[in-house]
Structure 1
Amino acid sequence: MAKAAEILEIPATITDRGQTTVPAAIRKMLALGKRDQVVFRGLADGTVMISKKETRAPEGDPVIGKFLDFLARDMTNEPGRIRPVPKSLVARGKGLVKGIRVDLGAALPDDDA
């Protein structure tokens, strides 16, 4: 038998300007970071749902997009973790592309080709 969904109820105050703060527990539940956007959906019965607005990279790869979203959130939430890229890793990357010529102005080939 499936467990019924638990409802989290947290009161919040609306300011004179019609603003409120999304409670920390809700921000954590939705994995919201600074500058993330939310979407409110109101139902006819007066229920309102809030969810994280998903950002889409233009014609982007969903895996890369999620990874970049993760990096952006992590850098915002934990700036103390940011470290320079080690020289050995830079050298390894340069070794991978050594001798490869790329025309950055050229059109990319179709994926179907």
Structure 2
Amino acid sequence: MPLVFHAPDEAIVEAESTLTDRFQTTVPDVVRRALKLERRDKIRYVVRPSGEVVMQRATGVVVSHDPALEPFLDLLERDIAQHPERLRALSVELLARIDKLTNRIEIDLDAPLPDED
């Protein structure tokens, strides 16, 4: 696939791939190189209201798009900036209670959800 050069903030790499019957695809080599993807790396997809899809190399913790989450985090950020005196460390008692409530709970964040969820 050739590199395609455009104006700033536009695509510099264009490529196509095909979905299999199981909705899987291979990331084209030119895209893998541009994103510096290696085997077992995670990919993040962002679907914009226009239908545009942005594919990124996932790094760190990624929060899925939730229309309520971003405004809440913005509110929280402003409140912390305006009132840092409100921040408190968790008490040993509260940490012990959290540990007791979550003891032996194992979660695989990569596991698919069952149909009933």
Q: TM-score range by the shorter chain?
A: 0.3 to 0.5
TM-score under structure 2 normalisation?
0.42
Bigger relative contact order (CA 8 A; separation at least 6): 1
